Amino acid sequence: MVVSVVDKKQMRQSFGQASQSYDGMATLQRQVGRELINKVSLANDALVLDVGCGTGFFTQQLHEVACLENILALDIALPMLLKTRQRIECGKICADAEQLPFIDNSISGVVSNLALQWCTNLELMFADVKRVLGANGQFVFSTFGASALHELKAAWAVVDDYPHVNEFCSLAEIGAKLQTAGFADVQLEKQTYYRKYASVIELMRELKGIGAHNVSYQRNKALTGKGKIQAMCAAYPVDEDGQITASFEIIYVQVRNKG
């Protein structure tokens, strides 16, 4: 069972700092967003909340592909919302996904693309989503699964015992947390995406560029020495073509609020 110990202050800073570089590096996020948009089934005039909107790519997909007219974009990092404003005209709210600032039964749909893995307590977050959703409202999201970046995690484990890669929930854990929150008829599926990089440093540069730092309270807060980084890189498996492969397990979820 994953016990999340996310440093919210560090997370907000990381994503705020990544707002300028995010769009140039978030290839996987866009790919997953295009898959996720096909799972959204809401009336055109439904009031929809995009949780963790980032720079607004998925928010824009909601408008242009799903043809939704009433969208609220929410993010914990104000610089991300400012980027969203450049992309689409919609309501924008700077707030924590775990403290949704809406009255009960006021939202027709809640969607989120690769953002909820940063929540510290998914049970409470899911319960809050259920609270704000109206009858038959749809909750659709994607999130990283437990085996995401397992190659990088294993390479760091050779170096020391600190957590260098964020921990993510398994499909079974997410299903259980949704049921605890009161959702039924949950549809879950997972897919693993494999991406090649010229080096481990290139992978780490991308993770930094999209704000996906290690934000665990248990992380080593001192600077990681060059020797440790070199040892980690040496422990990471290299492909026959001299590149490295990183795997990203993605979990897709669809659920209806039955009341």
Domains of the chain, by residue range, sit at 8-256
User: How many angstroms separate the Cα of 125 from the Cα of each of 9, 139, 159, 239?
Assistant: 18, 12, 34, 40
Q: Is the four-CA dihedral 25, 28, 31, 32 of positive or negative sign?
A: negative
pLDDT digit of tens for each residue in the chain (259 aa)? 444 456 666 666 666 666 666 667 778 999 999 999 999 999 999 999 999 999 999 999 999 999 999 999 999 999 999 999 999 999 999 999 999 999 999 999 999 999 999 888 999 999 999 999 999 999 999 999 999 999 999 999 999 878 778 889 999 999 999 999 999 889 999 999 999 999 999 999 888 877 665 444 444 444 466 889 999 999 999 999 999 999 999 999 999 998 6
Q: Is the four-CA dihedral 240, 243, 244, 248 of positive or negative sign?
A: negative
- Specify whether the CB–CB gap between 97 and 124 falls below 8 A: no
**Which SS3 state, helix, strand or coil, does residue 243 take?**
coil
What is the Cα–Cα distance from 145 to 1, expressed in whole angstroms? 13
| Whole-number pLDDT of residue 114 | 93
User: How many angstroms separate the Cα of 82 from the Cα of each of 85, 204, 209, 251?
Assistant: 5, 25, 17, 28
- Secondary structure letter of residue 6 according to DSSP: B
| Whole-number pLDDT of residue 10 | 64
Query: What CATH number belongs to 8-256?
Result: 3.40.50.150
Strand 133-144 to 184-197 pairing: unpaired
What is the Cα–Cα distance from 214 to 212, expressed in whole angstroms? 7
pTM of the model: 0.88
Residue with the two structure tokens 């994503």: 15
Q: What type of residue sits at position 100?
A: L
What is the Cα–Cα distance from 169 to 21, expressed in whole angstroms? 27
Element (H, E) at 107: strand 107-113
What is the Cα–Cα distance from 54 to 121, expressed in whole angstroms? 20
